[in-house]
Amino acid sequence: MGGHAAKGRKVRCLLFCLIALGASSPARSDTIAEVLERSQKVRLEAFDTVTPDSARAQTVRNSFNTLVRALDLPEPVELRIIRGDTLAETLQGRVLVANEALADWPEADRLFVLAHELGHVVLGHWSQMGLMFQKWVPGIVTQQETDSVAALLGRDASRLAYGQEYEADAFAAQTMAALGMPSHDAVAVFMRLGAHKDTATPPGTQRRLAALRAREPLAQPAR
Mean pLDDT of the chain: 84
The distance between the two most distant Cα atoms of the chain, rounded to a whole number of Å, is 61
The alpha carbons of the chain give a radius of gyration, in whole angstroms, of 18
Contacts 24+ apart (CB under 8 A), 204-213: 204/4, 207/162, 208/165, 208/166, 208/169, 211/166, 211/169, 211/170, 212/169, 212/170, 212/173, 212/186
Q: Write out pLDDT tens, residues 129-184.
A: 999 999 999 988 888 878 888 888 888 988 999 999 999 999 999 999 999 987 66
For residue 49, the 8-state DSSP code is E
- Residue 6 is predicted with a pLDDT of 53
pLDDT of 219 > 70? The answer is: no
The structure's pTM equals 0.85
For residue 19, the 8-state DSSP code is I
